[in-house]
Amino acid sequence: RTRTTVSFPTQPGPMPTPAQRRRLEHAARAAAKKSYSPYSEFRVGAAILTESGRVYAGCNVENASYGLCNCAERTAIFTAAAEGERQIRAVVVYTPTKQPTLPCGACRQVINEFGPDAVVISVCDSDRRLETTLPELLPHAFGPKDLA
């Protein structure tokens, strides 16, 4: 059998500047302080950079009916979408841990809807950080192009 490698070309936007990265990280850390997490006590914050240059932050919001909880990343994205934003360039996630935590599968799918080539940066309470792109986290993702 022969193996075929398929490339899906992407058109990444401009990378966030160091100043934008600092602003995103600060916004994500501040958002975590607003987390409503009485059940897990795991306070997560996220911030996104949109194509317009605006930053939107969000925190995780838990619910006694656990399936109705919302992650910080999705809170930030839904806030941006409600303001008319449609393109994400970068996502920063902050968790109060020693190791950085990447977005869950549901958040990766929502990021894909608005930022299929987004930079994803995860930070925590140590100096460790993870930086990758959404195509690395969610290869061959299902998205709007699949419905055309």
Which residues are annotated as catalytic? 73
CA geometry: angle 125, 130, 132, nearest 5 deg? 150
Task: Please provide the size of the chain in residues.
Answer: 148
